[in-house]
Structure 1
Amino acid sequence: MFVIFGTRGLKHTVSDSPVLTNSCPNCNNGNLVNKLYRRWFTLFFIPVIPLDTVDRFYECDSCKSAYNENIKTILQKSQDEINENQKQAKLIFAKALVASMTHMSIIDGDFAAEEEREIMDAIEGFPEMKEDLMAVHHHVKEHANKDNQVFNYLNDARNALSSEALINILAQAAVVLLADGAIEKEEENLMKEYLIACGLPKEMYQNLIDRLTQKDISELKEGQLN
């Protein structure tokens, strides 16, 4: 008899935390619900024992945007300050996304046309910052992770964004893993390094691949701001 065990991350609602009513900066009228990611020990792929908490964050019950817990402080600021915070968070998200996708695409030494298209599609999703993102793309394409630049972008994202937003970055970056029809070992190892850099357990690698097979990538772009 084979016994299959491991760990996986699951999202839970924090029942004793107050809901922030009509407070979502993205859709303006959604309620922000406190959530946490917890790692579970699994037996035959069934979660049986809760382990450590990976992160706590707020998620909008309407548009599904996710925010780290400092959103409570941000919401006390003026509307102009809130808008500026959202703008900066979106830029941090987009730079980390493009940098990781580009780095992933060149790690195996074969920059496929399919991978280039995925990156260009991602950049087109942020038309107001296209120039900045193209600069990030070209720099990483030419210099790879020189001076740790890709991981610096991910570290900025880790400090500014929620774990849900980080997972969305990596899930979209994982599209590159599948763009040419095969996942190379170098790509898999790099994705696990990205997870660790984002403060997430490397065991969540399979969760990312599962998410790609279960959802259209456009859905993953929801909730990316904080």
Structure 2
Amino acid sequence: MFIIFGTRGIKHTVNDSPVLSNSCPNCNDGNLVHKLYRRWFTLFFIPVIPLDVVDRFYQCDRCKSAYNENIKTVLQQSKQEIDENQKRAKQIFAKALVASMTHMSIIDGDFAKEEEREIMDVIEGFVEMREELMAIHEDVKVNANKDNRVFNYLSEARNVLSSEALINVLAQAAVVLLADGSIEEEEETLMKEYLIACGLPKEMYQTLIDKLKQKDMSKLKEGQLN
């Protein structure tokens, strides 16, 4: 008999923490609910034993935007300060995303056109930052992680963004892994290093890949039906 065990992260609501009513900076009306990511030991894919808490954050119950725990302090600041913090978080998110995606695409020595297209699509989504993001893209494409620049972007993101936002960065970076149809050993190793740099367990790697593959399969089925 085979015994299948492992670990996985599960999101929980912190029941003894008050809800921040009508406080979401993104949609304005949503309530911010205190959440945590806890790693669980699994047996036959069933969570059995709770392990360490990976991160705590607030998530809007309406638009699902996620915020670092310091959002409570931010909400006490002026609207101008809130807008500036949101703008800075968006910039940090975009820089970390483009840098990690570009680095991931060149790590195997073969920068495929499918990978380039994925990165260009992301850059076009940040119109006001397009020039700066293109410069980051070209720099990493040529110099890779020289002076630890890519991991510095991720480190800055870790200090500002919630784990939910960090997972979003890495999930989009993982799209590059699958863009050319195969995952090289160098790409897998690098993605695990990204997870660690973001303060997330490297065991989340397989979860990210499985979800992306499921998403791709769903798109394929929808295309066949249409």
Do both proteins adopt the same fold according to a TM-score greater than 0.5, normalized to the shorter chain?
yes
The separation in 2 between residues aligned to 1:58 and 1:214, in whole angstroms, is: 27
Q: Normalized against structure 2, the TM-score is what?
A: 0.94
Name the residue aligned to 2:150: 150
Matches within 5 A, 1:44-59: 44-59=44-59
Instruction: State the one-letter code of the partner of 2:204.
Output: M
Q: Secondary structure at the match of 1:41?
A: strand
The CA deviation at 1:64 is 0.8
Q: Secondary structure at the match of 2:169?
A: helix
Q: Secondary structure at the match of 1:174?
A: helix
Q: Secondary structure at the match of 1:202?
A: coil
Instruction: State the one-letter code of the partner of 2:134.
Output: M
The separation in 1 between residues aligned to 2:150 and 2:143, in whole angstroms, is: 10
Name the residue aligned to 1:161: 161
Q: Normalized against structure 1, the TM-score is what?
A: 0.94
The separation in 1 between residues aligned to 2:178 and 2:117, in whole angstroms, is: 13
Instruction: State the one-letter code of the partner of 2:116.
Output: E
Q: Does 1:141 align with 2:165?
A: no
The separation in 2 between residues aligned to 1:75 and 1:117, in whole angstroms, is: 38
The CA deviation at 1:215 is 4.2
Q: Secondary structure at the match of 1:11?
A: strand
Q: Does 1:17 align with 2:17?
A: yes
Q: Does 1:122 align with 2:122?
A: yes
The separation in 2 between residues aligned to 1:152 and 1:96, in whole angstroms, is: 9
Q: Secondary structure at the match of 2:150?
A: helix
The CA deviation at 1:142 is 0.6
Name the residue aligned to 2:190: 190
The separation in 1 between residues aligned to 2:64 and 2:131, in whole angstroms, is: 28
The CA deviation at 1:128 is 1.2
Higher-Rg structure is 2
Q: Secondary structure at the match of 2:27?
A: coil
Q: Secondary structure at the match of 1:15?
A: coil
Aligned Cα root-mean-square deviation (Å): 0.9
The separation in 1 between residues aligned to 2:45 and 2:203, in whole angstroms, is: 13
Name the residue aligned to 1:38: 38
The separation in 1 between residues aligned to 2:214 and 2:97, in whole angstroms, is: 20
Q: Any unmatched runs of 5+ in structure 1?
A: 217-226
The separation in 2 between residues aligned to 1:82 and 1:171, in whole angstroms, is: 27
1:165-189, CA deviations, whole angstroms, 9 ceiling, x for partnerless residues? 0000000000000000001110000
Name the residue aligned to 1:171: 171
Name the residue aligned to 1:201: 201
Name the residue aligned to 2:132: 132
Q: Relative CO higher for 1 or 2, CA cutoff 8 Å, sep ≥ 6? A: 1
Instruction: State the one-letter code of the partner of 1:9.
Output: G
The separation in 2 between residues aligned to 1:181 and 1:209, in whole angstroms, is: 12
The CA deviation at 1:206 is 1.1
The separation in 2 between residues aligned to 1:175 and 1:49, in whole angstroms, is: 31
